[in-house]
Amino acid sequence: LPAQLSAKVLGLKRLTREDIIGWQRILHSAGWGGPSWPKEFGGTGWSSIEQHIFDEECSLAGAPPIISFGSRMVGPVIMAFGNRAQQEHFLPRILNGTDWWCQGYSEPGAGSDLASLTTRAERRGSVYSVNGQKTWNTLGHLADWIFCLVRTDSEARPQAGISFLLIDMRTPGITVRPIPLIDGEHEVNEIWFDNVEVPIANLIGEENKGWTYAKYLLTHERVNIAQVGQARRELKRLQQLAARQLEGGQRLLDNVRFRHRLAEVEIDLMALELTVMRVLSAEKKRRDPGPESSVLKIRGSEIQQALSELNMQALGHYALPWIPTALDADWHGSPAGAEVWAPLTGRYFNQRKTSIFSGSNEIQRNIIAQRILGL
């Protein structure tokens, strides 16, 4: 892990495509390109607990995020449901950083209620012709490929007519337009498909079975969802900040009320960490932790949000200035010190997404009530 790169990550600076791809290449050359993949597909073959430890260490050391859409999402789907040709073509390219994947699920009319999606793919000889609009697409402007849920049968009941398609982002007819976000950064997009031709070979599994694959994917991703390593990192930042920020000349850390807030979030994080370990430990037996992942998603997002809020709160008036250039790695401008504090308020705003995306916390509580508690 290059020191310059980890400094960017720990400093909450903007990362370039090269930063992230570069890290994937480094991991790949060390044999760690697929920490969650079985050995037969070029992965490490690690147990869940080993993966968890690896993820935590990476986070704490300031490694860039892995492009999870490839490694943790479409990768496992291709392994489970793709054909031999798809596996041989796509999987190595994910491992070695050749292909950056993004996800085409949400639509303007289909957010939490994904099954009501309307982007359609019509079969025309050896291709599907895809038309429609996807939204809340993360980092698609950097991506080489997109995996999409598309409607291939509009007669069937909502879940039954959906297929899982892999689409090259360079195909003519695709338009990517940024959605300006609350923190002023470019992270998500709208994507239009206008008669986009996709070879039938890029269909995963069977036509109209896409919902099954998507559901598999939703429950496959679970432990990393708690983002414990990242939270540890933010807690450390917060403690350092509280020791440095002054309040009428006194350290903020010496403010009893603020220290209570620090302690509360630290305790919550301990409880989450241990619960992750318990889920992983149970997984040794059962393999599928199932709906407990909702517990991890809810608490993980709430703790991330609490931490980002406290980091902002620690700034006092410095929460106000918006200095987007200070998010660049090499910035040393004025006001002095902004390279440290400038990212924090934007991060607070940005982290509100964690309770909305990947199944809102309301949906997660529905899942707990219905699937675990049987209500």
Q: Known catalytic residues? A: 221
Q: Which of residues 243-302 bind a copy of itself (CB under 8 A)?
A: 256-257, 260
Six-digit token string for 149:
């849920």
How far apart are alpha carbons 63 and 30 in whole angstroms?
Answer: 14
Given the complex with a copy of itself, which of 204 and 265 has the nearer CB atom? 265
State the nearest-atom distance from the C-beta of 305 to a copy of itself, in Å. Answer: 21
Q: Which of residues 344-363 bind other proteins (CB under 8 A)?
A: 345-346, 348-350, 352-353, 355-357, 360-362
Provide the mask over 308-327, with x wherever binding to other proteins is found by CB under 8 A and - wherever it is not. ----xx-xxxxxxxxx----
Q: Give the relative orientation of helices 3-10 and 17-29 as an angle to the nearest 10 degrees.
A: 130
Please say whether the beta carbons of 276 and 296 come within 8 A: yes
Six-digit token string for 160:
């039954």
Provide the mask over 24-63, with x wherever binding to other proteins is found by CB under 8 A and - wherever it is not. ----------------------------------------
Six-digit token string for 183:
């923190």
Provide the mask over 146-185, with x wherever binding to other proteins is found by CB under 8 A and - wherever it is not. ---------------------------------xxxx-x-
Six-digit token string for 177:
């337009």
Given the complex with other proteins, which of 28 and 347 has the nearer CB atom? 347
How far apart are alpha carbons 173 and 196 in whole angstroms?
Answer: 5
Residues in a beta bridge with 167: 146
In angstroms, how far is the first alpha carbon of the chain from the final one?
47
Q: Is 112 in the site for other proteins (CB under 8 A)?
A: yes
State the nearest-atom distance from the C-beta of 344 to a copy of itself, in Å. Answer: 24
Q: Is 239 in the site for other proteins (CB under 8 A)?
A: yes
How far apart are alpha carbons 241 and 236 in whole angstroms?
Answer: 8
State the nearest-atom distance from the C-beta of 281 to other proteins, in Å. Answer: 5
State the nearest-atom distance from the C-beta of 255 to a copy of itself, in Å. Answer: 8
Please say whether the beta carbons of 299 and 269 come within 8 A: no
- In this chain, which stretch among 117-125, 193-201, 209-217, 237-245 interacts with other proteins, using CB under 8 A? 237-245
Q: List the single partner that 156 binds among a copy of itself, other proteins, none, CB under 5 to 8 Å by kind.
A: none
Question: Residue 20 CB: number of other CB atoms within 10 A?
Answer: 19
Please say whether the beta carbons of 295 and 288 come within 8 A: no
Footprint on this chain of a copy of itself (rule: CB under 8 A): 256-257, 260
